[in-house]
Amino acid sequence: MSYLLDLPEEDEEEEQRPQINVYDSLWGETALTVAAGHGRLSICRLLLDQGAAPEHCNRQGVAPLSAATRRDHWQVVELLLNHGVDVNRADQQGRTALMTAASEGHTTSGRLLLDHGASLDQMDREGLTAAELGVSEGSAGAGQRAGGERSRHHPR
């Protein structure tokens, strides 16, 4: 990975520098989607500092925010939100990160998303909202909290 992050020398052309937002040839992931999905906060910071696009999806259409939310890596979620990602961006199924948080029962990430303006009214392709997904996936408490709470308290 260090080769991807090497800054070009003054006499090097910009085209000679490897592209940080490319997909890997095996899984179709970007470095940022992998780091976000595994909760590697320091690597995410480094990649973003080096110009990684915070909204660039992998080949399956999963954005780094959704990858981090899926496993409740709330510190990475917060980092990406602070880098200005679209909190209501939907994947190919029309699901947002808040919908993922609700369906997985991840209240900390869900609260962060709500604090950054995530929509409770947005529906996926099946017409379900975050609260409905939380209930239908068996995390009734998370779905109700996503739909009913807008807490500003989360671990720091």
- Domain encompassing residue 46: 2-148
In the chain, the number of structural domains is 1
pTM over 0.85: no
Q: 104 lies in a domain?
A: yes
Which of the four pLDDT bands, split at 50, 70 and 90, describes residue 152? very low
Q: 6 lies in a domain?
A: yes
Q: 156 lies in a domain?
A: no
Mean per-residue pLDDT, 127-145: 68
What pLDDT sits at residue 21?
87
For residue 140, the domain's CATH number is: 1.25.40.20
Which of the four pLDDT bands, split at 50, 70 and 90, describes residue 8? low
Q: Which residue has the tokens 């981090």?
A: 68
CA distance 105 to 141: 8
Q: 154 lies in a domain?
A: no
Q: 155 lies in a domain?
A: no
Q: 87 lies in a domain?
A: yes
Q: 29 lies in a domain?
A: yes
Mean per-residue pLDDT, 60-88: 97
Please, what is the angle between helix 107-115 and helix 74-82, to 10°? 10
CA distance 131 to 143: 4
Q: 20 lies in a domain?
A: yes
